[in-house]
Structure 1
Amino acid sequence: MVKQERAARTRRSLIHAAAEVFAQTGFVPASLGAISARAGVSNGALHFHFANKGMLAEAVEAEATEAVRRLTEAARARHGDSLQTVVDAMHALIGALAEDVVVRAGFELAGDIARRTASPLRREWQHWVEDSLRRAEHAGALAEGVSWKDAARVVVAVGVGLEVLGGEDATWLSRQSVTRIWDLLLPLLTDRPDLGAPVSSGSRAAAVVPPRAQPRLTQPEQR
C-alpha cells in the first residue's frame, strides 16, 4: 500500500511538473529532463510512469479534461437547463485557466499543432456548451430566432479567444473581462425576463477548480 501511494504521488508530481513546463515553454521545446527535475524525481522514475513526452502531454490533457468536467457539472447542478448555467461555467473555466496550471497547459497542448493529435479537452468543452444551449432552447430560454447551434458557435469561439489571448495578457482572463462579454451577449441570446434574467457576472463567485496540491519528493525515486 505504501509503495502504491508513493507511485501515485510520483505520478501526480510528474503530471503537475509537466504542466508547468509545457505552459512555460510549449510542447516541442519541453524536455523530459526538465520535467523530472521539476518534479524532484529521477529520469528512471519518469520513464516508469510515462514512456515518452507524448504520453505525459496526454496525461496533462486528461487531468485538465476532468477538471473541466467537474466545473461544468457543478454549474448544471446549480442552475439546470438555463443560460445561467453556461454563464457560470464560462466564468469557472476562465478562472481555472487563470489559476490552475494543469487546465492552462491542457488547453495550450490542445491548440499545439505540432502534436498533430485531436484534443479531447476542447471537444469536452464544445460538446458541453452545445448540449447546454440545446437544453436551454428546449426550455424556452433563448430569444425567438436564436438557435442553440448559432449560440454555441459564439460561446465556444469566445472561450477559445479568451484562452488564447489570456496566454499573453492575463487581463483577458479576469472576471471583469468575462462579465463584460456576457453583458453584450446575454441581451442577444434571451428575451425571457419571466424566466429570470441571467447574471452576467455569474450567480456567485466562480467555482474555480483549485490547483492540485502536488507533493514534492525530497530525493530521486526509482518508481
Structure 2
Amino acid sequence: MVKQERAARTREALVQAAASAFDRAGYEATTLARVSKAAGISIGALTFHFRTKDELADAVQLRGESVLRQATDRAAARGGPPLQSVIALTVRIAGLLEEDATVRAAARLARERVGASAAWSALWLPTLDRLLARAEGELRPGTDRKTVLALVAYLVTGAEAYARDRAGTPGRAADSTEQQLTRIWRVVLPGLAGGDRVSP
C-alpha cells in the first residue's frame, strides 16, 4: 500500500512538472531530463512511469482535458438563463487556464502535437454552441448565433494567451483572467442581449 501511494505521488509530481514545462516551453523544447529535474525525480523513475515524452504528454493532456470536461459538464447541467451559463462557462475556462497548468498545457499540446487527441476547442465549443442555441430567445433580434459562437471562441483564445502571460510573470499585479473576461462581457453583453436580462 505504501509503495502504491509513493508511486502515485511520484506520478503526480511528474505530471505537474511536465505540465509546467509543456506550458512554458512547448512540446518540442520540453525534454524528459528537464521534467525529471523540475520534479526532483530521477530520469529512471520518470521512464518507469512514462517510457516516452509522448506518453508523458498524453498524461498531461488527458488530465487537463478531464478538468475542463468537468467544468463544461457542470455548465451544461446548470439551471438558469442559457446566456448566463455561456458567460459563466467562458469565465470558468479562463479561471482554469490561469489556475491549472495542466489545462494550459493541454491547450498548447493540442495545437503543437501531431495527432493530438482532439482539437482544444472541441472540448468546450460544442457545449457553448448548445447553450447558445437555447439562448437564442435572449439574444437581440437579428443576432447571428454562429457569429456569437465565433466571438466566444475568440474570447476564450484571448483568455488563454492572457493566462499564459500571467503564469509566466509571477506576482503580477494585473487583474486575473476571470476578472478581465468578466469586464469584457460587461462591454459586449448589451450588444448581444440588450436590456438587463443577463449580467456577467
Coarse TM-score class (shorter-chain normalised): 0.7 to 0.9
Q: Return the offset for 1:122.
A: 2.6
> Across the two proteins, how many residue pairs are aligned to each other?
193
Residue 176 (structure 2) pairs with residue 178 (structure 1): no
Q: TM-score, normalised by structure 1?
A: 0.75
Confirm or deny: 8 A CA contact 2:15 2:59 kept in the other structure. yes
| CA distance 1:172–1:77, change in 2 (3 Å) | same
Confirm or deny: 8 A CA contact 2:97 2:164 kept in the other structure. no
1:22-47 C-alpha deviation (Å, 9 max, x unpaired)? 12222211110121222232222222
Q: How far apart in 2 are the matches of 1:81 and 1:62?
A: 31
Q: How far apart in 2 are the matches of 1:58 and 1:173?
A: 28
State the structure with bigger RCO (CA 8 A, min sep 6), 1 or 2: 1
Of 3-12 and 27-36, deviating more is 3-12
The residue correspondences of 1:47-62 to structure 2 (distance < 5 A) are 47-62=47-62
Higher helix share: 2
Confirm or deny: 8 A CA contact 2:17 2:39 kept in the other structure. yes
2:34 aligns with 34
Confirm or deny: 8 A CA contact 1:143 1:192 kept in the other structure. no
The residue correspondences of 1:86-105 to structure 2 (distance < 5 A) are 86-105=86-105
Confirm or deny: 8 A CA contact 1:36 1:46 kept in the other structure. yes
Q: Return the offset for 1:172.
A: 7.5
Please report the RMSD computed on the Cα atoms of aligned residues, expressed in angstroms: 2.3
1:117 aligns with 115
Give the alignment partner of residue 156 of structure 1, picking from 145, 153, 158: 153
Q: Return the offset for 1:19.
A: 0.7
1:183-221 C-alpha deviation (Å, 9 max, x unpaired)? 22212222475xxx2222xxxxxxxxxxxxxxxxxxxxx
2:199 aligns with 199
Instruction: Output the amino acid matched with 2:97.
Output: L
1:9 aligns with 9
SS of the aligned residue for 1:117 comes to coil
Confirm or deny: 8 A CA contact 2:159 2:177 kept in the other structure. no
Instruction: Output the amino acid matched with 2:157.
Output: V
1:160-189 C-alpha deviation (Å, 9 max, x unpaired)? 122124433574853332122112221222
Q: Return the offset for 1:120.
A: 4.5
Residue 144 (structure 2) pairs with residue 135 (structure 1): no
Instruction: Output the amino acid matched with 1:35.
Output: V
State the 4+ residue runs in structure 1 displaced beyond 4 angstroms: 169-173
| CA distance 1:160–1:55, change in 2 (3 Å) | same
Q: How far apart in 2 are the matches of 1:178 and 1:14?
A: 31
Any stretches of 5+ residues in structure 2 without a counterpart?
168-173
| CA distance 1:59–1:153, change in 2 (3 Å) | same
Q: How far apart in 2 are the matches of 1:62 and 1:80?
A: 30
| CA distance 1:177–1:65, change in 2 (3 Å) | same
Q: Return the offset for 1:88.
A: 1.1
SS of the aligned residue for 2:130 comes to helix
Q: TM-score, normalised by structure 2?
A: 0.83
SS of the aligned residue for 2:29 comes to coil
Any stretches of 5+ residues in structure 1 without a counterpart?
201-223
